[in-house]
Amino acid sequence: MSQYHAPLKEIRFVLHELAGLEQVATLPGFEDATPDTVAAILEEASKFATEVLDPLNAAGDREGAQ
């Protein structure tokens, strides 16, 4: 079974090019949404999805819903 890898390149594209992350970071309450902070959060979320959530899929497939 292949291991899940989050599409970080595509997520970064959407955040920067489509959602306008730089403009969002200028809004009140979103000052901490700097490119460096967002990149670090994305990296850790990717690790969590790969190391924690992905292994749960196989167990759920074997056991099924009750």
Query: Chain-centre distance of CA 57, in angstroms?
Result: 17
User: Which sequence spans correspond to the domains of the chain?
Assistant: 8-59
- The alpha carbon dihedral of 26, 7, 39, 51 has a sign of positive
pLDDT level of residue 66 (50, 70, 90 thresholds): confident
Question: For 30-43, what is each residue's pLDDT tens digit?
Answer: 999 988 999 999 99
Distance between CA atoms of residues 54 and 10, nearest Å = 19
Q: Nearest CA to 38 among 13, 15, 7?
A: 15
Q: What is the pLDDT of residue 1?
A: 53
pTM: 0.73
Question: For 49-61, what is each residue's pLDDT tens digit?
Answer: 988 888 877 777 7
